[in-house]
Amino acid sequence: MSDTEIIEQLKQGSELAFKKLVDTHQKLVVNTCYGLLHNREDAEDIAQDVFVEVYRNVKNFRADAKLSTWLYRIAVNRSLNHIRDNKKHKWFRSFEDEVAAKNNELLKVPGAAADEPEYDLENKQRAVMLREAINSLPEKQKVAFTLSKYEELSYQEIAEVMDLSVSSVESLLFRAKKGLQKKLYKCYKKKCI
């Protein structure tokens, strides 16, 4: 069943089409939410809200964008609203552990064993610094950066999700990278870790 068929059947209230929609796009929606929230339970809760919103508003879907773009847009907006509503602004809560695990080899200090306590502490400190630097970015830069680096979306896809021009996305990403470089360079220059 194609996305167009799913949408048409959803407009007629088909539960089978809704199940197909969720089965087909659940991973995309959960991963998008997780990329912004970095909390699996919150991402899954928001993903459910996204599909409920799609079901309720499918009659308004104009099909001038792809279904996946619409889902990304709703997922990003719902995730940002969740962050604002909680006022915790704890982006990337489990990010420290993930960065340490994913970048284990990249961050490895020559001659240092990965199971040494100093090595683990240093990786966690790097992850905290990166998280804080990303958190300090303006919201649109954070979203563009996250969609680019963690969701691996193209500039065109990010533009569609954020409802911006491609050149605006390029500008946001350029400024985000420059801001991160500046913040991280200052810290490394001061030997924060």
Domain boundaries, the chain: 1-88
Is 168's pLDDT higher than 80?
Answer: yes
pTM recorded for the entire structure: 0.61
Distance CA 75, CA 78 (A): 5
**How sure is the predictor about 104, in pLDDT bands with cuts at 50, 70 and 90?**
low
Is 167's pLDDT higher than 80?
Answer: yes
Q: Are 63 and 7 in contact (CB under 8 A)?
A: yes
Q: Are 92 and 134 in contact (CB under 8 A)?
A: yes
Segment 158-184 shows an average pLDDT of: 91
Question: Cβ of 169: how many Cβ atoms within 10 Å?
Answer: 24
Segment 65-85 shows an average pLDDT of: 87
Contacts of 35 (CB under 8 A, 6+ apart): 146, 147, 150, 151
Q: pLDDT tens, 88-102?
A: 444 444 444 554 555
pLDDT at 115: 54
Q: pLDDT tens, 15-64?
A: 999 999 999 999 999 998 888 887 889 999 999 999 999 999 998 887 77
Q: Give the residue with greater pLDDT, 87 vs 118.
A: 118
Q: Which fold has domain 1-88?
A: Rna Polymerase Sigma Factor; Chain: A (1.10.1740)
pLDDT at 153: 84
